[in-house]
Amino acid sequence: DQQVKQNSPSLSVQEGRISILNCDYTNSMFDYFLWYKKYPAEGPTFLISISSIKDKNEDGRFTVFLNKSAKHLSLHIVPSQPGDSAVYFCAAGSGNTGKLIFGQGTTLQVKP
């Protein structure tokens, strides 16, 4: 299932700088998108979501941008902290059943 893609398997940034994680999708019927962070041997932790009627949502250090015409979303983390080092998943859904389609994840490393 290639409906949601995270083309960068890994990203490394310096502490204090901005981390930008990208996600592309192919299904124009998706109407909500979520970002999760995952540590090894733990479940995904919900970070932030955005509805397709918006183009930006912000929560503290996390901002998600949605470009529907490009079928692209991104997660910005500013400033990045070493504790942000984890695997980040984007996920997309449509309708009212809650089914999420996940990307394959991007491993973020924030160096002190």
Partner 1 sequence: EPEVTQTPSHQVTQMGQEVILRCVPISNHLYFYWYRQILGQKVEFLVSFYNNEISEKSEIFDDQFSVERPDGSNFTLKIRSTKLEDSAMYFCASSPPGLAVQETQYFGPGTRLLVL
Mark the segment that binds partner 1 (CB under 8 A) among 12-20, 33-41, 59-67, 70-78.
33-41
Q: What is the 3-state secondary structure (H, E, C) of the chain?
A: CCCEECCCCEEEEECCCCEEEEEEECCCCCCEEEEEEECCCCCCEEEEEEECCCCEEEECCEEEEEECCCCEEEEEECCCCHHHCEEEEEEEECCCCCCEEECCCEEEEEEC
Query: Of these, 19, 24, 25, 36, which contacts partner 1 (CB under 8 A)?
Result: 36
Is residue 30 close enough to count as binding partner 1 by CB under 8 A? no
Is residue 60 close enough to count as binding partner 1 by CB under 8 A? no
Is residue 92 close enough to count as binding partner 1 by CB under 8 A? no
Give me the residues that bind partner 1 (CB under 8 A), please. Answer: 1, 32, 34, 36, 41-46, 49-51, 89, 91, 93, 95-105
